[in-house]
Amino acid sequence: MSLRPVGIIGSGKYVPDRVLTNQELEHMVETNDEWIVSRTGIRERRIVSPEQASSDLAYEASLRALEMAGISAEQLDLIVVATITPDMAFPSTACILQNKLSAKKAAAYDLSAACSGFIYGLANASNFIATGMYQYALVVGAECLSKITDYTDRNTCILFGDGAGAVVIGVVPEGRGFKSFELGADGSGGELLKVAGGGSRCPSSAQSIEAKQHFIYMAGSEVFKFAVRIMGNAAEEALRKADMQKSDIDLLVPHQANIRIVQSALNRLELSEDKCMINLHKYGNVSAASIPIALAEAVEQGRLNEGDCLVMVGFGGGLTWGASVVIW
């Protein structure tokens, strides 16, 4: 079977209006703006209103992606939502989004790979189109991390924000589109970054709430060491699979977790900062939404031209990682 070339034909993002600055965090926990910026590069993050959920953010981002792609929601065959903050355990956030969009013929499901989720979702959905099973798919990263963040924990509350990014993928001209994917996982590191409460291992209870098991736990230094190593590894492996070199990269869109991790990846790939999309100073770490938000902003800013080599790379809880090489 010959596979059809598949690529991104539309992108969009949405972030909530509420801005949480480092200065505000100074009044919530023992921290300060200089400390946060020097260690993470983050200056502010967006926070949802109490009534907003991940599907609401996903909906707004999806409308923008569909408009850019020039297709209607009714033409979608598949909706994949990457999230670790679903509206609820079930139905899936993707099914809730399908209903909001009136995408009546689309299959829909959620995907959980934390901050790597968007790349996992792209790899997954693109195969349906490459084989001819589907024509159009919507892949979304959407998170309301503020709802699982402990704002008394100064190690984590400075990092996370809310938002959504979406892309429409479909058949593209020969020579364009996705050239490779590199996905991986190391479940032995699962305990380093987790939300323990609310699942079948530790059901919700008064005790689990009291123990703060419904908030993000992160062993920061261990996750940092893993990220520094894996970001470069994953990007290099994706390039190797695509038969391309570091020097071919026109734009790197990394997961926006920490400026020092991004800079480490740039050094490994021998890239200058002007070849990297960085917006973590505005949004912080938005998990599965980080890469698609950054991608949508890069498109808005005209930083991608036809024929450019785009590399997306991320890491996350699981532990997981993912990278992709795309010819725009």
Query: What is the per-residue DSSP string for 114-163?
Result: GGGHHHHHHHHHHHHHHTTS-S-EEEEEEEEGGGG--TT-TTTTTTB-EE
* Predicted local confidence at residue 241, as pLDDT: 98
Q: How many residues does the chain have?
A: 328
**What is the rounded distance in angstroms from the CA atom of residue 218 to the CA atom of residue 141?**
21
What is the three-class DSSP state of 60?
helix
Q: Is 157 a catalytic residue?
A: no
**Cα–Cα distance, 109 to 4 (Å, whole number):** 23
Residue 1 in this model has a pLDDT that exceeds 80: no
CA–CA distance, 159 with 286 (Å, rounded to integer): 9
Residue 164 and residue 142 in contact, taking contact as beta carbons nearer than 8 Å? yes
- Annotation marks residue 155 as catalytic: no
Which residue among 22, 95, 115, 258 is the active-site one?
115
**Of 62, 56, 54, 50, the residue nearest 12 (C-alpha):** 62
Residue tagged active-site, from 95, 124, 285, 309: 285
pLDDT for the residue 2 = 85
Q: What is the pLDDT of residues 130-153, one digit of tens each?
A: 999 999 999 999 999 999 999 999
| Chain segment 176-195, per-residue pLDDT in tens | 999 999 999 999 999 999 99
Which of 22, 144, 157, 255 is flagged as catalytic? 255
pLDDT tops 80 at residue 122? yes
CA 288 to chain centre: 3
Q: Is the pTM of this model over 0.95?
A: yes
Active site residue 115: yes
